[in-house]
Amino acid sequence: MSGLFSRSAAPAADFSHLAQASVTFSEVAKRYGDRPVLKGINLSVTPGEVVAILGPSGSGKSTLIRLINQLETLTSGDILIDGKSTRQLSRQALRQLRSRVGFVFQQFNLYSHLTARQNIALALKHVHGWRPVEADTRAEALLAQVGLADKADHYPEALSGGQQQRVAIARALASSPQIILFDEPTSALDPEMIGEVLLVMKALAHSGITMIVVTHEMQFAREIADRVVFIDGGHILEVAPPEQFFQHPSHPRTQRFLQKVL
Ligand code: ADP
Ligand code: MG
């Protein structure tokens, strides 16, 4: 596994210094109907930190990060960005929040009828009011950063899964976010395409942006994360630097999880 990042299917992405913000969960709870899925979550992610979220399927990982940019609504508690509450935002404040927080989905979620360039430029033009030429220029610069300068006019169906996910990362970066969230970004990929996406994520991690990554890539968590969070049954059971997390997990549930996945 040591060659994970040297197996360089994509040119190493070069991100200039990106902005960063803190994210604080304060007594966050989430129910779907009557069903509690997150219970009393407290977690502070510091500016520029890279946090990996691990846990079994159904433990609430996706819900946890989707709450940050309000793809789901909180039941109780609060999530603060740079110390400011994100409860009861005006429409304009919500738009601003979403431009500060990029999100990368497991299934890419690119618009199939738009080219790579158009996928990235869309929100810049229609949400942020950029002039078309400037939005397209920014889209092309972002494509170059994820190693896809030659794919600007390609539609998603003409791209591999790894390339589509790199376009999705470029799109998430279009509004110059301070925080980027990844929900199992490599889980839908064929094994040979995982490395090229992890390589881009690794470069991003070193750019300074605050990053929260739900992942099953243990090697990535071990090498890249500043801290690992283990969640099960809607509770955070363990938070530790990767060295400690993987070598000396303190919670029996974490130990059992690691025995299964390592
Ligand atoms: P994970 O990402 O760790 O697999 P999720 O956050 O997706 O977990 O889901 C946690 C629990 O909440 C699961 O039991 C799931 O079935 C349930 N759940 C997720 N989304 C919804 C939803 N929109 N409506 C109802 N239940 C949901
Ligand atoms: Mg999930």
Q: Which of 28, 30, 37, 229 to mutate to test the pocket of ligand 1 (most atoms within 8 A of CB)?
A: 37
pLDDT at 191 (0 to 100): 94
Q: What is the mean pLDDT of residues 170-183?
A: 97
Could you identify the residue written with the tokens 């966050």? Answer: 28
Whether 165 and 108 have beta carbons less than 8 Å apart is answered as yes
- pTM above the 0.90 mark? yes
CB atoms within 10 A of CB 71: 15
Phi, psi angle pair for 63, to nearest 5°: -55, -45
| 186 alpha carbon – ligand 1 mean position (Å) | 19
Residue nearest to atom 22 of ligand 1 (CA): 32
Give me the helices (H) in the chain, please. Answer: 61-66, 91-100, 116-126, 132-145, 161-173, 191-205, 218-224, 242-247, 252-261
- Which of 4-13, 124-133, 145-154 is predicted with the least confidence, judged by mean pLDDT? 4-13
Whether 116 and 151 have beta carbons less than 8 Å apart is answered as yes
Q: Which residues pair with 54 in a beta bridge?
A: 230
Q: What is the mean pLDDT of residues 124-140?
A: 96
- State the complex-level ipTM: 0.98
